[in-house]
Structures are given as structure tokens and as C-alpha cells.
């Protein structure tokens, strides 16, 4: 089985327990997080081999992150550790109705953001790979990472490796105008584009009022083979309906809808991506959408950024047809 390669930044995530606010915190739970790492770790949980291309500081915090990344089954390159920079941090306040969750970033000067595009050996990383994935967060971290992401995508395409891209717009990192200018060239002609209706509308002005029109418009605009969109209805902060849709060569399809009780929603979109990639490697788009929706629905019940659900749990949920609440 060929490995999946992902590229991005790993961060230290710190979260107060019991839905406390940061100003109240006397202790913080620590996890490794980061969109592309979450995808790689999710794929490992589903039985795949994955490599995460990143840079970590050569100090105890970087070693802690590497230890946790490897413990999730994800491979790191031999050139992962660098002398400059630090491990980026983000603080997460878990919401409780009516207060939404909130993220505070402390990532300036991170090891990945200080590297040069020439520091990445893409032909080596992608040798023998079966898939490559990156998100819009990585090029938002600096000009060199725009170049690095572009080099990675071009190398993968040149080697005939399918490429997926998650739009993943982050308003804390750049404006919609900056994101649109940088990301549109990177997003063209890919095997799989993953996004939300909200991000497509905010960054590219694509009408999000109808999921089918939204996905079809994005597929046409970016000349993508498949566009997958997560769909969420939010009755309360702690409970919502979750699913997705996809538009490909054979038309449009919606997934089952799952009622999810939210323990931790962070990383649900990355779990959707991991499930979709796994499904596409195994079969057709309907199977990929089933895997994506079920795997990401289960993620809402798991603390931390990564979905550690097993393939058996995902298949059982798919078999249930989405009836009732997620079984844990």
C-alpha cells in the first residue's frame, strides 16, 4: 500500500478542562494539532501509511511533538528538525451554549514559517507515494511556504500522484483578498478539493445557498476532478447535524446526516478529508463520501485534533445509515 504524504505545520494545542475560559485555567491539556498532520494521523487510524512533511525545532518541545506524531503512526522525514524557530502554540477554549469555542494563536516565529522553499526535497518525499495533501493554512504562513506548496503540488502532478487541497481559510492569518490571490493558482486542476460552503463564499464569492450549485460551481472554477464540501447545521453549540456532499464526473451526491453531540469539533474537517482520501483510494466517490461523513462525525466525540476512530467503527456507523446518535 503506497503511503500518503501531507505537508504543513504541527502545533502544540493547549486546552483548559471542563469548558473553562483561559483566564480561569490552572491546568491545560496538551495535544499535537495541525490540519495536515490531523489528516495523516486519521489515515493511519484507517489502516494507511502516512508521512507528514514539516519542520520542528530541535529542542525538547519539538521532540515531544515528534514523539506524539510518531505514536499516532505517522512517519517523519529525517530532515524534520531544524535549529531555528519554535513550536507554534494555539489555545482552545471549548464552548458551551451559548458561548462558542474560541482559538488564540501564538505561532509567530515557528520553525516551519522560517524555512526556505529550497529546504524541502519533494522528489525524495514523494518517491513511491500514492497521494499528496496540503491545505490553505500552510501557504498562509509566508511567501516561502507558498513556493514550497507550489513546488510540492507541481512535483506530485509530474509524478502522476493525485493531489488534494483543503481550502481551510483562516481569517487570523490573512485577508480573503490575499487568500484568493495566492490560493487560486494552487487549487487548479487537482484530483480533490475539500472545503466548506462558507469558505467558498467568503474567499471566492461562490454562492453558498445551495450545496449542489456551490459544489458544481467550485468544480468548474477550479477544474477539479472532485469537490467535496462539509455540511453542518448548528442548532446549539454542543449539538448539530453533520454530513457532506461531493460533485464529480458522475454528478452530485449527499452523504447521510449524523446527529453529533460535540465533545471536540476541532479537526472534524480534517477527519472528513482523511476519510474521503481513504475512500477514493479504495473505490468510488459514493464510498469516499460515506467514509468521510462517518469518520468526521465520530471525530466530534473524541478530544484533541485527531480522529482515532477505527475502520470497524466507521463501517458500523455507515451500515447504520446515520440513524440516531453516534454510538460511543
Q: What is the dihedral of CA 156, 157, 160, 162, to 10 degrees?
A: 80
Contacts of 2 (CB under 8 A, 6+ apart): 49, 128, 129, 130, 131
% helix / strand / coil in the chain, to the nearest 5?
40, 25, 35
Q: Are 135 and 36 in contact (CB under 8 A)?
A: yes
Can 79 be counted among the known catalytic residues? no
> Please, what's the b/e burial string for 144-171 (b: 16 or more CB within 10 A of its CB; e: otherwise)?
bbbebbbebbebbeeeebbbbbbbbbbe
Neighbouring CB atoms inside 10 A of 289's CB total: 26
The Cα 69–Cα 32 span in angstroms is 7
Collect contacts of 321-327 with beta carbons under 8 A, ≥24 apart: 321/256, 322/243, 322/255, 322/256, 322/257, 322/258, 322/293, 324/259, 325/259, 325/260, 325/261, 326/258, 326/259, 326/260, 326/261, 326/297, 326/298, 326/300, 326/301
Contacts of 318 (CB under 8 A, 6+ apart): 256, 290, 291, 294
The Cα 151–Cα 156 span in angstroms is 9
Which of 270, 284, 290, 305 is the catalytic position?
Answer: 270
Q: Catalytic residues, which ones?
A: 270
Amino acid at each position: 500500500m503506497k503511503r500518503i504524504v501531507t505537508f504543513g505545520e504541527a502545533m502544540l494545542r493547549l486546552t483548559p478542562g471542563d469548558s473553562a475560559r483561559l483566564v480561569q485555567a490552572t491546568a491545560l491539556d496538551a495535544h499535537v494539532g495541525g490540519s495536515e498532520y490531523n489528516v495523516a494521523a486519521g489515515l493511519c487510524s484507517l489502516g494507511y501509511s502516512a508521512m507528514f512533511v514539516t519542520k520542528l525545532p530541535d529542542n525538547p518541545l519539538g521532540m515531544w511533538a515528534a514523539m506524539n506524531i510518531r505514536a499516532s503512526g505517522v512517519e517523519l522525514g529525517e530532515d524534520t528538525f531544524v535549529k531555528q524557530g519554535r513550536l507554534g502554540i494555539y489555545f482552545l477554549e471549548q464552548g458551551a451554549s451559548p458561548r462558542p469555542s474560541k482559538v488564540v494563536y501564538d505561532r509567530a516565529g515557528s520553525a516551519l514559517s522560517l524555512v526556505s522553499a529550497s529546504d524541502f526535497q519533494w522528489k525524495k518525499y514523494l518517491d513511491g507515494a500514492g497521494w499528496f495533501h496540503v491545505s490553505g493554512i500552510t501557504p498562509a504562513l509566508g511567501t516561502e511556504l507558498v513556493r514550497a506548496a507550489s513546488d510540492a503540488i507541481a512535483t506530485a502532478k509530474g509524478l502522476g500522484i493525485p493531489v488534494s487541497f483543503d481550502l481551510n481559510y483562516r481569517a487570523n492569518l490573512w485577508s480573503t483578498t490575499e487568500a484568493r490571490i495566492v490560493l487560486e493558482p494552487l487549487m487548479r486542476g487537482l484530483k480533490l478539493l475539500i472545503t466548506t460552503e462558507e469558505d467558498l463564499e467568503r474567499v471566492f464569492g461562490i454562492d453558498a445557498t445551495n450545496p449542489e450549485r456551490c459544489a458544481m460551481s467550485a468544480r468548474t472554477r477550479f477544474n477539479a476532478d472532485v469537490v467535496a464540501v462539509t455540511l453542518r447545521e448548528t442548532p446549539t453549540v454542543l449539538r448539530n447535524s453533520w454530513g457532506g456532499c461531493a460533485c464529480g464526473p458522475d454528478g452530485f451526491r449527499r452523504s447521510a446526516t449524523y446527529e453529533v453531540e460535540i465533545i471536540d469539533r476541532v479537526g472534524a474537517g480534517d477527519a472528513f478529508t482523511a476519510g474521503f482520501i481513504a475512500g477514493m483510494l479504495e473505490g468510488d466517490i459514493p464510498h469516499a463520501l460515506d467514509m468521510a461523513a462517518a469518520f468526521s462525525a465520530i471525530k466530534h466525540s473524541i478530544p484533541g485534533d485527531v480522529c482515532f476512530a477505527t475502520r470497524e467503527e466507521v463501517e458500523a456507523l455507515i451500515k447504520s445509515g446515520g440513524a440516531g446518535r453516534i454510538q460511543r
